[in-house]
Structure 1
């Protein structure tokens, strides 16, 4: 009798375990495949961000009527308050236009005012008066640029060829690209398609947050587009809102690269050599000299003249920095107070 009971219990346990496993398999079957989940996530990002996208039309004083429906670029909503909607785009999209119109996701068109622009970084800020037609327009959410890595998924958005809102999907091909067009470059490279008309549009991460602003393509290449990192865009935007212009830091030196042969001889891995110190500049006031090799700023290695220029120009006016230099084969650290760039001086 005891054996029969034991056998019954064992059999019952086996049946229960088998049923549980079957239920688990059913649940597993119901769960979408990873690629389907990614697809749904991309769709969610697109739908969520449509109310933030802008198509931009600009007109010169003598432009003819038939050309007035040509889309020149894209933009995105960065801020909305009780009075205005603020829009970011590229400066080259609006240039010195006499008239600017923007079209929202719901096809509502409004006249836009220029808040300010910075032609050096190719960023402009527009604003549109708020009314009930624009209740559903939303600002974008900002992503964390420091978390980006090569290979991460991104979506480029804009209005290419006047087709209306269009999204393309790709990856981050490279970070910190410099095309040699200006000393303000630190671009994100992507293979997400960027076409004429996409300029000024947002580059989203896979979570639907903006990590960049579309700016350029390589005409002779495919899958090679560039975007300004969103932290740079926001720096320019905040300067324009607060001061009506972009104030840039100025050190007051002209530098050039060091050859690998010279680096080996001096036993250094990086640095740039000072070939000129400008009169009455912070560099002169705090003791930088011609022939000094700038090794680092605030502990960060300086690897090229472009990197030095980009770093200095993003510093806040009157901020204190520490520059480590190699002088007569000895390392010195100089405290220097950054001043505002004057007389359109393009050097660091």
Structure 2
């Protein structure tokens, strides 16, 4: 057979094969993909998912937010801070000023909320730190009450307050619900904030999401001119302004999960809040009942939570833990950490069997334990050998 004839036969064979496969593909699509049954089901699925289902979800969220606002609002109160302001008289030429008289003026508004039925209130420490000011509590139905500070938290921006009516305790208020464990909260979870907007519009409700977890910031109080280091905070960009300090952030299960504490004004009002839970509030209440103050444990060490950058900078052999930098001043002699034989350069890997990673530090583990409580530490020593030690928590 000549080469020319072989080439012609090959072309004819390829043509017949292509026709055969085209027929098979067409027949399959005709019987399966283009059947009215298939089209109908695909269309219904798209319709249900893209409109009905989404609308149903949004309506459920809307109903939930309304229920949260209705239930939590009565537990949120506003605080008016008033001070005696001295006025000055100016001479006609504007060169000299002399005191004339004092007048009482409202200088700030904040938000608080009730955590027990016997009118115990939780708010920010910086809200009630001015001993020269007078304070008035106003509820959502415009009732006014007296109050006094019971205790201030030495390590957190928290204060415990007691409210009164005509000198008598009140017990008819409904306290907020608190989450059992705020470690279950995740980024993008929905939250509802209830607060005093612009020091004027009390019990305002806003709604957005958790932006990030476990932030650490240096908070500057413009009113009382103080700085405080805060850690373990959540970040949100819900529509909030400085007058929300002390107001609650609530999840869609009606549980208060944080208390607002600080705002980054230069960053379009990013807001930060302190995590709260039943355990946290119970610790505060138990501490006050037992010691008439809020006691917190202290270690008297300086440490750095390990991440990739810290690991590379200090040439560490552990990817997690709390690193005590290798300088003597990071550990105070004759205080709990020193007495437990911790040393500069050590890495605390675990505290009370909790691994210190994913933003969990030793401070988070011990914060709700009383001073003098003994904890077990797993430590990576300077020779890279692990060791287990007992440490008795100290007191400030």
TM-score band, normalised by the shorter chain? 0.7 to 0.9
Matched, 1:150 2:174: no
Aligned to 2:140: 105
Matches of residues 1-348 of structure 1 in structure 2 within 5 Å?
Answer: 33-62=56-85, 65=103, 67-68=105-106, 71-81=108-118, 85-97=119-131, 98-118=133-153, 120-129=155-164, 137-144=173-180, 145-161=182-198, 162-181=200-219, 182-222=228-268, 224-231=270-277, 234=281, 235-256=283-304, 259-261=310-312, 266-271=316-321, 272-274=323-325, 275-276=327-328, 277-302=331-356, 307-327=361-381, 328-341=383-396
For the residue of structure 1 that corresponds to 2:265, the secondary structure is: coil
Query: How has the CA–CA distance of structure 1 residues 210 and 41 changed in structure 2, closer, same or farther, with 3 Å as cutoff?
Result: same
The number of residue pairs the alignment matches comes to 308
Q: Residue deviations 1:134-156, cap 9 Å, x none?
A: 77631111123132111111001
* Structure of higher CA gyration radius: 2
1:90-144 per-residue CA deviation (whole Å, 9 max, x = no partner) reads: 1222222442110011111112112122364221222122589977631111123
1:160-197 deviation per Cα after TM superposition (whole angstroms, max 9, x unaligned): 22211101000111111111444542111112222131
Matched-pair contact (CA < 8 Å) for 1:156–1:192: yes
SS where residue 329 of structure 1 aligns?
coil
Relative distance call for 1:201 and 1:306 in structure 2 (3 A) is same
**Structure 1 unaligned blocks of 5 or more:** 1-24, 342-348
Q: 1:154 to 1:43 in 2, by over 3 A?
A: same
| Greater Cα shift, 85-94 or 38-47 | 85-94
Q: Report the Cα distance in structure 2 between the residues aligned to 1:191 and 1:127, rounded to whole angstroms.
A: 31
Aligned equivalents of 2:374, 2:59: Cα separation in 1:
51
Q: Distance in 2 between matches of 1:298 and 1:76?
A: 33
Residue 260 of structure 1: how far off its partner (Å): 2.6
Q: Which runs of 5+ in 2 are unaligned?
A: 1-47, 87-101, 220-227
Please tell me whether the aligned partners of residues 235 and 273 of structure 2 are also in contact (alpha carbons under 8 angstroms).
yes
Corresponding residue SS for 1:125 = strand
The 3 A distance-change label for structure 1 pair 312 and 180 is: farther
Is the Cα contact below 8 Å between 1:175 and 1:187 reproduced in 2? yes
8 Å contact from structure 1 (residues 115, 241) kept in 2 = no
Contact 1:191 1:225 in 2 (8 A): yes
TM-score using structure 2 length:
0.69
Instruction: Measure, in 1, the Cα distance between the counterparts of 2:148 and 2:169.
Output: 18
Distance change (3 Å), C-alpha of 1:117 and 1:261: closer
Kindly indicate whether the alpha-carbon contact (under 8 Å) linking 2:197 and 2:244 is maintained by their aligned counterparts in 1.
yes
Distance 1:227 1:163 in 2: 21
- Distance 1:281-1:136 versus aligned 2 partners, 3 A rule: closer
Equivalent pair of 2:258/2:276 in contact (CA under 8 Å): yes
| Aligned equivalents of 1:294, 1:141: Cα separation in 2 | 35
**Kept in 1: contact 2:154–2:296 (CA 8 A):** no
